[in-house]
Amino acid sequence: MFGIGGFSGGSKGGPFYEIEVNEGSVNMKKFTSVANERHENGYRMAHVYSQEGNTIVVWERSG
């Protein structure tokens, strides 16, 4: 999954890795909500990168 402009929850049993790009700043309240939703669906945040003002998040299915 490659998303631009925001974060969306990974579905349970989805791909092993999902990579998302958020253009500009990250809304931390929304990001916290998404991180908790992904945890419930068996994902963990594997890596977070910043490049040219964008945030890149790599999610790893852990369950």
pLDDT at 40: 92
- Taking the C-alpha atoms of residue 51 and residue 42, their distance in angstroms, rounded to an integer, is 27
Please write the tens of the pLDDT for every residue from 4-38: 445 556 788 777 888 888 887 788 888 888 889 88
By residue range, what is the domain housing residue 37? 2-8+16-61
pLDDT at res. 2: 42
CA torsion angle 39 41 44 50 (round to 10): -90
| This prediction's pTM | 0.75
Domain count for the chain: 1
Average pLDDT over residues 41-61: 90
Please tell me the predicted confidence (pLDDT) of residue 4: 45
Q: What integer pLDDT is reported at residue 7 of this predicted model?
A: 55
Residue pair 14/28 in contact by the 8 Å Cβ criterion? no
